Amino acid sequence: MGLIKWAYFVKDETLSLHDCVINYFKELDNIDLNLSNKEIKEIIEKVVTDKYKKNENILKSEVNRYNDLWKKYNDKYFETLSSYLNIEWPKNISIINATVGLIPVFPRYLDDFSFSIGTGVDDLKLLEVCAHETLHFLWFEKWKQIHPETPRREYDSPYLVWKYSEMVTDPILNNKPFSDMFEFTEHGYDSFYELKDGNEKVMDKLRKIYSTGKSTEEKIENGFKYINSIFKK
């Protein structure tokens, strides 16, 4: 419930969360904008509560389906990710929790290694979301090693460190060894694919940086220097 209320009021153009909420909960499209935030939140609460009551069995079914799909890849993926990023999983983390809900966006919660996903996600998209969201957890553990000076707030929108973390999922998951493991094509936020560096797309250049034979640490550093130069223009 809190997620939907938050997303409804978000104005970050990179995320376009408000539009996602409206597309998912059509009943919220005609809310009188002259109402107070409190009144709007009360309407959201009623719409979302009614939808959950109607879809309780679907939620339970999707939890089982998602678990059955992901468990085929779980161990191999996390072993491969740990090796790729050249870092061990934190000793205090043995489980990553994923909650399934009637939600239009799939947020991740770095501090407790968990994320959320909606219902009705097809098989390939489910694998992509799980790989994408869980990559962030180990990615930021690696980032802490390389840049311990980065404030925690910069791991989230709208900071550059966050933007970079969302951009690198494409060159990482669409390259070997992950491209040999999965059949999906990883795709980040649409706005990142619209960025250009001269006549070349920024994401294409970032892919080239990550397809080199350099160490993971060098790829991370070179990629960030490049992205930093783009957003400073």
**Does residue 32 lie within any of the structural domains?**
no
Please say whether the dihedral angle defined by the alpha carbons of residues 72, 73, 75 and 76, taken in this order, is positive or negative. positive
Q: What domain range is 210 assigned to? A: 55-232
Say if CB 189 and CB 166 are below 8 A apart. yes
User: Residue 15: pLDDT band by 50, 70, 90 thresholds?
Assistant: low
**Does residue 145 lie within any of the structural domains?**
yes
**Does residue 146 lie within any of the structural domains?**
yes
User: Residue 14: pLDDT band by 50, 70, 90 thresholds?
Assistant: low
* Average pLDDT, integer, range 174-199: 95
Lowest mean pLDDT among 70-74, 78-82, 106-110: 106-110
The whole-chain average pLDDT of the chain stands at 92
The pLDDT assigned to 1 comes to: 60
Is it the case that residue 7 has pLDDT exceeding 80?
A: no
- Pairing type for strands 196-197 and 200-201 reads antiparallel
Give the number of domains in the chain: 1
Amino acid sitting at position 217:
E
**Does residue 186 lie within any of the structural domains?**
yes
**Does residue 218 lie within any of the structural domains?**
yes
Say if CB 160 and CB 167 are below 8 A apart. no
**Does residue 17 lie within any of the structural domains?**
no
31, with CB counted inside 10 A (0-12, 13-18, 19+), is middle
**Does residue 35 lie within any of the structural domains?**
no
